[in-house]
């Protein structure tokens, strides 16, 4: 058992996060997302259940350094149709990101561009969140260290 690791970050997910490097992308996907098709390697597909993309994203952000060298280290899938604007999942994710990553730029990413980035991502975390547009991409940054490497 470890301290300070959110319980929803299970061992397979924790291993993936610890294996990532600077510039790698992590996708948190809703239940509608074609996660198996988008994942370049089945070992990079991580399945979770019983948690929303919003709650999982908040838990991961407690451990995940965001990339300070890119304009937008966070991205949400943009609504594909005008009637999808204001989707509840997008509102929840936006509020969570403002709370957990204040001042960080969040990009709105076209659906097909999101799919393309997911194909190149280090890992895709498939949730059971049934809400459309509960999809987020996070770009890994670096953990600041001291000059002597400690």
Q: Which of 24, 30, 67, 129 is catalytic?
A: 67
Query: Is residue 115 flagged as an active site residue?
Result: yes
Nearest to 14 by CA among 43, 38, 46: 46
d(CA 83, CA 148): 54
| CA distance to 8, 46, 59, 91, 146, per residue, from 127 (Å) | 11, 9, 13, 18, 37
- The answer to whether residues 89 and 133 touch, using CB atoms and an 8 Å cutoff, is yes
Query: Is residue 10 flagged as an active site residue?
Result: no
Q: Which of 10, 22, 69, 110 is catalytic?
A: 22
The phi, psi pair for 13, rounded to 5°, reads -70, -40
- Specify the length of the chain in residues: 150
Query: Is residue 133 flagged as an active site residue?
Result: no
Instruction: List, by residue number, the catalytic residues.
Output: 22, 67, 115
């Amino acid at each position: 058992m470890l301290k300070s690791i959110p319980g929803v970050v299970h061992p397979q997910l924790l291993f993936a996060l610890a294996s990532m490097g600077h510039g790698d992308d992590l996708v948190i996907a809703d239940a509608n997302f074609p996660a198996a098709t988008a994942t370049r390697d089945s070992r990079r597909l991580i399945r979770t259940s019983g948690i929303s993309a919003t709650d999982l994203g908040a838990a991961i952000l407690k451990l995940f350094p965001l990339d300070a060298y890119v304009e937008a280290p966070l991205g949400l899938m943009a609504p594909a149709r005008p009637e999808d604007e204001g989707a509840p999942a997008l509102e929840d994710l936006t509020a969570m990101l403002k709370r957990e990553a204040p001042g960080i730029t969040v990009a709105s990413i076209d659906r097909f561009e999101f799919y393309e980035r997911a194909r190149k991502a280090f890992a895709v975390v498939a949730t059971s969140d049934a809400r459309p547009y509960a999809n987020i991409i996070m770009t890994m940054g670096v953990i600041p260290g001291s000059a002597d490497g400690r």
